[in-house]
Amino acid sequence: MRRSTLQRKDRGELNQIAAALGAKPSSRARKDEIIQLIIDLTADGARISRPAGESPPAEAAPGGSGEADQGLQSADNAGASGRDGDQNGEGSAAGSREESRPADRGEDEVDPGNRRRRRRNRDRDRDRDDSWDGDPVAVAGRLDLRDEGYGFLRVDGCLPNRNDAYVPVKTIRQYGLRRGDHLTGTSRPANRAEKNPALLTLESINGGPAELSDRPQFESLTPIHAVRRLTLEQPEDPDAIAARLIDLVAPIGIGQRVLVTGPRRSGASELLTSLITAIETNEPDIFVMGLFLDQRPEDVTEVRRCVRNGDVAATSFEQTPEEHVQTAEMTIERVKRLVESGRNVAVVLDSLTSLAQAYNAALSNAGRAYSGNVESGAVHMPKKLFGAGRNVSESGSVTMIASIVSDGSSSLPGVLSDEFVGTANTEIRLDRWAAQLGLFPAIDLSASVSRDEDRFIDADEVQALQDLRRSFTGDAEDDPGGVVKALETALSKLRSTASNAELLR
């Protein structure tokens, strides 16, 4: 028996092996003394004492008795069983399996301190996969961390799956892994007592080599104002009127927070889909992440087909609030990891209201609540996610474009709208009556505004844009149907010209 193999075992397992070899270590013997005793016994050719009438094994391993090796393997299996219980604790009762397992019955088991030491040793043994010698399986996915320190590689979206690979604590600490990291490597299949495969080797982290890098924390990056415009107009597509109109009425800067507000059924989802197409067409260096929550299943399919080069995380209305929350949090953590590596990302979220409703349903009623039985955390968490939108001085940016329902009331939509006042750099307001009349995009031109457009557009163009906006709304400001008339005027001028540059002349 090798000393390194024995060193990985706890005191109770060593006592069992020593007893099987015919020795009984003292209760005060140190672990190293017990290991040396076992080595001496096997080197001297000691044999296990067998009960009367029991036949010897068919073949004994060289250098020691077959029963000794069998006892050692039994102890290995016991440790592995404990490891599997911890590794696959996702939705399972690992503690119950440990209580029902008739192993680790050493003479010092009555000592609570020894039990704690054995438990710590089993935690260390979770990272050992040397008992498996099959062919490795390629695996790739996003890392989802647990509070206990270990994680799972989500191989199919953001939600748990039986094919997700367990990632041990040792690997996470060794490479400084964070939630949302995209990993590739190899895994071994799940054992009989396990639910998930286990990661064996790590080959790449976020597309780069698997090595410990001194990358910054997203929260430590320095946010600055946008200095570059996000171009939406698509000259090769004259029917992309929505993108052209936003460029004229509420231009967006890269790294800004954009809020699309309006009542339900005012065309927010369609507007966001058109923005995704415009960004992918004009800004190839920006990675688009679509986050659509609590949607109809057919709408989810349509959005996925719309995104060509980016990624989409979506949930349908029949899924649980916890699944909505998990999807949103995993997506935003992935975005942060991309920005930490210097990437520009555009997040298109539909909607903040659905996310707040999911948080409100998932949270307990023990916390402080707003009026209308709205949990405070249900408002704080969407604000935290929306606040990830920023341009950073080091490198990279998050352009956050999110929709929110603006129905004023004391319930969640009304509270949420009040909380988001002043948080956006650009606000695009939608009008219910224009949407009901079939006008798209149903934008309220006088209420939509970009507060920092002078930071990424030269002064002459800003003045031309302001003059054009006044020409849209000047004659209809005091008219009750002014919003619809101004929008009809703007859409008519857009359709009669080939580009915004021609319209601004």
Question: Per residue in 469-492, pLDDT tens?
Answer: 998 887 655 565 888 999 999 999
Strands 257-262 and 426-429 come out as parallel
Q: Which residue has the tokens 């949302």?
A: 180
Report how far residue 259's alpha carbon sits from residue 132's, in angstroms, rounded to the nearest whole number: 52
* 417 backbone dihedrals φ, ψ, rounded to 5°: -60, -40
pLDDT at 414: 81
Report how far residue 463's alpha carbon sits from residue 460's, in angstroms, rounded to the nearest whole number: 5
Residues of the chain with pLDDT under 50: 45-110, 125-127, 129-130, 366
pTM: 0.73
Residue 380, C-beta contacts closer than 8 angstroms, at least 6 positions apart = none
Q: Are 168 and 127 in contact (CB under 8 A)?
A: yes
Q: Are 449 and 250 in contact (CB under 8 A)?
A: yes
pLDDT at 117: 60
Tokens of 369: 């609540």
Kindly provide the residue ranges of all beta strands, DSSP E only, lying in 169-245, ordered along the sequence. 182-188, 198-205, 208-209, 223-224
pLDDT at 57: 37
Chain centroid, CA 243 distance in Å = 30
Helix (H) or strand (E) holding 269: helix 268-282
Q: Looking at the DSSP assignment, which residues form a beta bridge with residue 391?
A: 224, 397
Question: Do you know the residue count of the chain?
Answer: 505
* 132 backbone dihedrals φ, ψ, rounded to 5°: -110, 130
First to last CA, the chain: 88
Tokens of 214: 């001194």
Report how far residue 204's alpha carbon sits from residue 217's, in angstroms, rounded to the nearest whole number: 19
Nearest to 309 by CA among 272, 270, 276, 331: 276
Residue 193, C-beta contacts closer than 8 angstroms, at least 6 positions apart = 80, 81, 84, 85, 88, 97
